[in-house]
Amino acid sequence: MKTTTESIAGPARIRSGVKAKNDLTVARLAREWETMSVMVRIYCRDHHHVVGGLCNECRQFLDYACARLERCRFGEEKPTCANCPVHCYQRDRREQARVVMRYAGPRMMWEHPIKSLRHWLDGFREAPEF
């Protein structure tokens, strides 16, 4: 029969081996999330002509991007995805991100100049070694 101490320590050891999700409210990660959200909205608005929201395809992509950002191994030290040595997106999703960012990036300068400038500056951030 297990004692109370053993049963409590067991799950704690199991959980410690699993990487916790990143907190998307931390300034750097929140900014990355906001930038991705704005770019997807701009792209969806201009290509899929959905009023007041996102189409299903763009919503699924944004959910996928959120999951990848939450699990980024670099956390707060995360570089922009273009400068990252680890490709955590699936090949199709990585190409989808490129298409969205190529389209929305220049347009973001007019709609969200501060976010655009911060994202450009984040592009100079070097990736930490892993």
Range of the domain at 63: 34-122
Residue 62: partners with Cβ closer than 8 Å, 6 or more residues away: 36, 37, 40, 54
Residue 100: inside a domain, yes or no? yes
Residue 1: inside a domain, yes or no? no
Kindly indicate the confidence band of residue 75, based on its pLDDT and cuts at 50, 70 and 90.
confident
pLDDT, position 83: 81
Mean pLDDT of 107-125: 89
Structure tokens at 41: 């909205």
Question: For residue 1, is pLDDT > 60?
Answer: no
Residue 117: inside a domain, yes or no? yes
Residue 9: inside a domain, yes or no? no
Residue 15: inside a domain, yes or no? no
pTM beyond 0.85 = no
**Alpha-carbon distance 89 to 85, whole Å?**
12
Domains in the chain, number: 1
Residue 77: inside a domain, yes or no? yes
pLDDT, position 130: 64
Hey, what amino acid is at 120?
W
Mean pLDDT of 11-23: 53
CB 85 within 8 A of CB 127: yes
Q: What is the mean pLDDT of the chain?
A: 82
- For residue 78, CA distances in Å to 1, 9, 31, 54 come to 46, 32, 11, 26
Residue 12: inside a domain, yes or no? no
Residue 81: inside a domain, yes or no? yes
